[in-house]
Amino acid sequence: MPQSRAFLVLLGFGGLLVPTVAVGQDDNYPNRKPIIVNTCPFVELSGFSFANKGGDRTRFETSMSWKNIGTQPLIAFEIITLKYDAFDRRLIGERWTVKGKDSVDWRPLQPGALGSDGTISLGSQEVFTAIAYVRSARLADNTVWAVNDLQLVTELRKVVPGIKDLGDLKPDTKAKPQ
């Protein structure tokens, strides 16, 4: 449910200051749920958050932190964010490839090293629950790890038992320009 914020604005007309109330919206569910499912043996996700942000243009932002918990450097890994509305219906999710440490530093993420980053999409989104997990990872020796979908479903059922229909767990494809 959006929360309103009122701001007192003084407008000047012909030397007179006229108080006016401007209302801004916080277009976020107050009890929104960012959830992490860590099934990857090489990357541990943490610090997940998401929100609609205002300003000049409304945008949907996510942020995340991670740690290389493996024994060799990570070249890249793929984070999937599954999104659900207030009625637990699946929305269009996100696919995000982290190349190295973060979007600025593409050098491999060394064992024990930390990274963090985020995504921004234009417009607001009515997301109540968002679930983030690592779908795949490429190690320095060129091994590619991929999530086991059965293990993922088992873990998801533990953390979000209320969502009866999880929907497709694979990355959503982007709409092709017409």
Tell me, what's the pLDDT at 178? 54
Query: Using CA atoms, how far apart are residues 131 and 97, in angstroms rounded to an integer?
Result: 16
- Whether residue 131 lies inside any domain: the answer is yes
In a domain, residue 147? The reply is: yes
Residue ranges, the chain, pLDDT below 70:
1-26, 173-178
The reported pLDDT for the residue numbered 86 is: 93
Whether residue 8 is contained in a domain is answered as no
Residue 164 lies in a domain: no
pLDDT in tens, 109-139: 999 999 999 999 998 899 999 999 999 999 9
User: Which residues constitute the domain of residue 155?
Assistant: 29-159
Within a domain: residue 1?
no
Return the number of other C-beta atoms located less than 10 Å from residue 89's C-beta: 12
- The answer to whether position 150 is within a domain reads yes
pLDDT at position 61 is 92
Alpha-helical runs (H) found in 26-163:
149-159
pLDDT of residue 31: 86
Q: Say if 21 falls within a structural domain.
A: no
> Would you call 59 exposed, middle or buried from its count of C-beta atoms within 10 A (0-12, 13-18, 19+)?
middle
Task: Please give the tally of structural domains in the chain.
Answer: 1
DSSP 3-state assignment of 154?
A: helix
The pLDDT, as a whole number, for residue 24 is 42
Q: Is 149 left (phi over 0), alpha (psi -120 to 50) or beta?
A: alpha
170 within some domain: no
CATH number of the domain residue 104 falls in: 2.60.40
What is the reported pLDDT for 1?
A: 41
